[in-house]
Amino acid sequence: MQKIDSDQRLRELYDTGQGYIYNDFEGGHQTASSRESNKLHRATCEECDPRRSKHAMTVNTQGQKLFFANMSEAFKWLMTNRAGNWSKCLRCNP
Ligand SMILES: [Zn+2]
């Protein structure tokens, strides 16, 4: 797992097209919206690239952005740290 700390890094991950990006929008808080807001994407999802979607994440939007090299790494982290409090993006279907 790597924390994505710049928009340049976010663009590199999008352009490389490998792995998964998790938008930890509401972090560990559980609210009525947190499961829906804490979203796992494929790195290629347009919601990870502000050049393609004006609604895309940037490092300045709420919550940390995390990169996982593969789905098993992502799943392990999410089950340990955000169990029942995250969801998959329906657009990119990771
Ligand atoms: Zn997505």
Reading phi first (left if > 0) and then psi (alpha if -120 to 50, else beta), residue 86 is in beta
78 CA → ligand 1 middle, Å: 16
CA Rg value for the chain: 12
45 CA → ligand 1 middle, Å: 4
- Per DSSP, the three-state class of 3 is strand
pLDDT of res. 73: 98
81 CA → ligand 1 middle, Å: 20
84 CA → ligand 1 middle, Å: 18
13 CA → ligand 1 middle, Å: 13
40 CA → ligand 1 middle, Å: 7
pLDDT of res. 42: 98
- Percentages helix, strand, coil for the chain (3-state, rounded to 5) are 30, 20, 50
Please give the chain's pLDDT, 94 residues, in tens: 999 999 999 999 999 999 999 999 999 999 999 999 999 999 999 999 999 999 999 999 999 999 999 999 999 999 999 999 999 999 999 9
Specify the DSSP class assigned to residue 12: H
pLDDT of res. 69: 98
| Prediction pTM value | 0.96
pLDDT of res. 2: 98
β-pairing, 38-42 with 87-88? parallel
